[in-house]
Structure 1
Amino acid sequence: MKKYDGVNKAMLDRFATRPGRKPLLPELSEKAQVALMCRMLIKEGWDEHIAGHITYRLANGNILTNPWEVAWSELTASDIVTLDPKGKVIDSDWNVTPAIGLHLQLHAARPDVHVVIHNHPHWSGIWACMQKVPPVYDQASAYCGVDLPLYNEYEGTFEDESTSMSAVEALGDAKWALLANHGSLVVGKDLRQAHLRAITLEWRSKRAYQVETGGGGTPLNDAEVEKVAIADKNGFPFIWEAMARKELRLDPSIID
């Protein structure tokens, strides 16, 4: 059985289903959860002015996304846009990015993918521009395993359908990717899983850059990474809720 910091998978499963005496979060609409995700990730380095988009496919096939005109740092639940599976806006006067095609194609190609995140993050963006994959130097960098594809056929922005489809095909069944000279892409089965992957990618990239500019170190080998990677299907217990509470303390209006 895999171990994580002295705690085995069965223990993680038990903790994930026992949140303690108080609710970890108030009841949140799906739009509120997407708005919170944007606020949470901007604090993790996923912050490039008004760039970037998150899509969240609902059980009925419709898709929630952030509007083009509004920065992630100012989003509230009422700003989140609902799209049909083809990308038509259902319930908003806001616009959506022309690059939404990448997300729609990913959702169509990957039934397992209900969340897609793309932006030009600070630290993983550096590695994408260097066209290198950051090594894993510490435990937090290893949360989501080793494999990190680098899509290195930059042909422009993702407004072009053939360009975005080539990125979809290059991603294959991977959970994330670096987009050379562009940014980063993360997918997940739900918001919790996608959040862990997004923050792990940025932490891994930041730590690797710090270590290598500081003189270098010895990366963990693949076997060591797999030993400390989080095997629990729900991700790291309680971290999504903790980061969401942090944002709600700063701005309770996010969920309005």
Structure 2
Amino acid sequence: MLKTEGINAHLLEKFTPNPGARPLLPALNAKAQVALMCRMLRREGWDDHIAGHITVRQSDGTILTNPWELAWDELRASDIVTLDRHGKVLDSDWNVTPALGLHLQLHELRPDANVVIHNHARWSGIWADLQQVPPVYDQSGAYCGVELPLYDDYTGTFEKQQTSLSAAEALGDAKWALLANHGALVVGRDLRQAHLRVVTLEWRCRRAYEVKLAGGGRPLADAVVERLAMADANGFPFLWEAMARRELRNDPSVLE
């Protein structure tokens, strides 16, 4: 199991994605990676029909995103849309949701936020509707730290520029947030980091709800959570690849 002190601590800080001769994944272009991310997160419970969007800023300033018309479990690499920094579609006949304004503003405000993900998720959505921040009860809910902002000024969907801007500014430099009566928002440096944040958030929220239903428990001490949270720096070793392989086994056409 994960140790945060002693001989194993450096593994989370300096691991290499493929230490052996056998590749963990086939070569994947940028659009294939975004399509896989959609499939992977849908399996985690980020699955409100055709709602939800992922944006990934590229090194040239363009942004990749999922189209509005397709659910996360059906889209393929060729469906991923390229946008300019203002949200104009550059290479697709698909549409994108007007609610992407929040993402575009976050990309502008946050140089570190190359990935922005939003959905009305299953377990984090419960806590967003309760307008409460779930405690951390176990290791798998601790990988990204204690602090979880709750944005509680929801006045409607994010099509209006001022509404999305106020939410983007309220996030500050946080890595994730619960949006009261709405859903969850996660940002990250890259897909690996954002993936770990999403799965950690959902696990944390699920466990906290289950413990609450069971009559309550004793959360982990904040100091313990912060020691475990060193995984957040790079993403948990090999997790992204393992979950990507699961999706490839389930439906190899995601790469088309």
TM-score interval, normalised by the smaller of the two chains: over 0.9
Specify every segment of 5 or more residues in structure 2 that has no aligned partner in the other structure, as ranges.
none
Q: Partners of 1:156 and 1:69 in 2: how far apart? A: 21
Identity %: 71
Structure 1 residue 231 displacement after superposition:
4.2
Q: Partners of 2:11 and 2:157 in 1: how far apart? A: 44
Q: Does 1:144 align with 2:144?
A: yes
Specify every segment of 5 or more residues in structure 1 that has no aligned partner in the other structure, as ranges.
none
Question: TM-score, normalising length from structure 2?
Answer: 0.96
> What letter matches 1:181 in structure 2?
N
Q: Partners of 1:89 and 1:178 in 2: how far apart? A: 29
Runs of 4+, deviation exceeding 6 Å: none
Deviations 1:21-64 (A, max 9, x none): 31010000100000000000000000000000000000000000
Cα distance change, pair 169–226 in 1 and its aligned pair in 2 (3 A) = same
Partner of 1:77: 77
CA contact (8 A) 2:17 2:238 kept: no
> What letter matches 1:178 in structure 2?
L
Structure 1 residue 227 displacement after superposition:
1.9
CA contact (8 A) 2:197 2:232 kept: no
Q: Partners of 1:18 and 1:63 in 2: how far apart? A: 27
Structure 1 residue 9 displacement after superposition:
3.0
Q: Partners of 2:232 and 2:181 in 1: how far apart? A: 33
Partner of 1:158: 158
Q: Partners of 2:119 and 2:5 in 1: how far apart? A: 31
Query: How many matched pairs?
Result: 255
Deviations 1:90-134 (A, max 9, x none): 000000001010000000000111000000000000000000000
Residues 1-256 of structure 1 aligned to structure 2 (within 5 Å)? 3-4=3-4, 8-231=8-231, 233-256=233-256
Structure 1 residue 14 displacement after superposition:
4.9
CA contact (8 A) 1:230 1:236 kept: no
CA contact (8 A) 2:12 2:234 kept: no
Q: Partners of 1:22 and 1:13 in 2: how far apart? A: 22
**SS of residue in 2 equivalent to 1:33:** helix
CA RMSD of aligned residues (A): 1.5
**SS of residue in 1 equivalent to 2:98:** coil
Question: TM-score, normalising length from structure 1?
Answer: 0.96
